Amino acid sequence: MENRLQPDELSAPSSGIMTVFRGFGIASCFSESALSSVSVMMQQLAEAGQVINNEYTLNNTRKAGRDLLFFNRVPKVGSQTFMELLRRLSSQNKFEFYRDKVQRVETIRLAPAEQLGLAAMINNYETPGVFIKHVCFINFTKRLVNVVVYPIGNSDFKLLRRLIEYCINTFANMYFLFSRTESSVLINIMYFADYAFSLSEPIYLNVVRDPVERVISWYYYVRAPWYYVERKQAFPDLPLPDVMWLKKVISVAIYYCFVLNKNKKNYDKSFLQDYETCIKNNDRECQYNEGATREGIGDHRRQSMFFCGHNEECIPFNSAEAIEKAKRVVDEYYAVVGVLEDMNTTLTVLEHYIPKFFKGAVDIYYRHMEEFRKINKNIYKPPVSEEIKEIVRKNFTREIEFYQFCRQKLHKQFLALKLSQSTATTYH
């Protein structure tokens, strides 16, 4: 039986007594109470029969074929903050910074041919470098086999249709790309082994967040007035949402602009019930039913999908199969999965496990902490009661399990640094 711990918060500062801890190669700010809790957690892990491996075995950075960091960022986990941190570090640590352009429609699940195209593009970037995009995990390293090109005359569409129908009905994992010349249609028939590709493995990075806090954050993020200003500036012809849906936005905006009158201490809680009303009324947008497969602008409930991948088994919400696959991917591929609620621990682990990119991250973050904290801060996000959060948590059981799994691994990586009793080994 697997033992799952709920890790203590190692990074929460206590009442003002801060220490710079360098004795074991860790240069970060920790409270004295947090440092003392390390030994407590080590004892908990030992009693649960879980081994704290050394930092070498816990570091997947060593598996990378190139000095290319792939940050397939989960939305609403502080990823904008980490992206800005990487941008600043790129000049200091001498690496290239690449990010995906703003998309009209953000597609996180891709067909195998699209995965191959994206992986090949990333693989061609100059190194050392970092590429950042909202997208599900892509396996770069397994093989693409048997690529066949058939030229077919423009007039022979019946043969084309019969060929495609035969292949789809006969073979698994077969996909088609088409290109047209003046005299023929070229069909690239590609057979994928396990939907993955024989390219150099990057250094995988991501961040997670408490899944209930994350879904609440997303709910208000897509309703913030500045979100639509930015979207309309990027895509002027983009239509506004449905009027009834938009009314939820207006109520929050009016409340903050006119009711609070910049005095957030004296607010009428009965006025602000948007997400809570959504839950209580069983609104379709706020239904979190196990096995549900709905996708859309308000359906960012499945944090685990960014680790599980693009296949059909990753779609159902809160499913055991998707969560187990996501865990395997984190263990096998990701150098670090940071945790928004454990920022100190995350930054320290990043500095030591991916030093080529994150050397100096702790110093830069804390010197400019106020600037980082303002990134994507949503002043239109009202409080949500613990009662409502507890209702939602009952439907997020496996997503919470995955979050705790990632958090526990991060803390194991941190503890391994402390156990090494020496400066962290540099792998890249």
Supply the residues annotated as catalytic: 134
Q: Three-class SS string for 300-330?
A: CCCCCHHHHCCCHHHCCCCCHHHHHHHHHHH
Rounded to whole angstroms, the Cα distance separating 36 from 212 reads 29
The secondary element (H helix, E strand) that includes residue 343 is: helix 343-353
CB 10 within 8 Å of CB 30: yes
What tokens were used for 188?
A: 């690239």
Rounded to whole angstroms, the Cα distance separating 310 from 173 reads 13
Residue 242's SS3 state is coil
Question: Among residues 221, 276, 219, 272, which one has the least CA distance to residue 391?
Answer: 276
Residue 21's SS3 state is strand
Kindly state the greatest CA–CA separation across the chain. Answer: 79
Q: What is the DSSP letter of 262?
A: T
CB 146 within 8 Å of CB 174: no
> b/e map of 390-426 (b: 16 or more CB within 10 Å)?
ebbbebbebbbbbbbbbbbbbbbbbbbbbbbeeebbe
Question: Among residues 177, 32, 17, which one has the least CA distance to residue 113?
Answer: 177
End-to-end CA distance of the chain: 36
Rounded to whole angstroms, the Cα distance separating 321 from 378 reads 34
CB 137 within 8 Å of CB 72: yes
Residue 131's SS3 state is strand
The values of phi and psi at residue 36, to 5°, are: -70, -25
Rounded to whole angstroms, the Cα distance separating 294 from 300 reads 10
Rounded to whole angstroms, the Cα distance separating 108 from 308 reads 12
**Per-residue CA distances from 419 to 12, 53, 358, 360 (Å):** 21, 9, 21, 22
CB 335 within 8 Å of CB 60: yes
Q: How many helices (H) and strands (E) does the chain have?
A: 16, 10
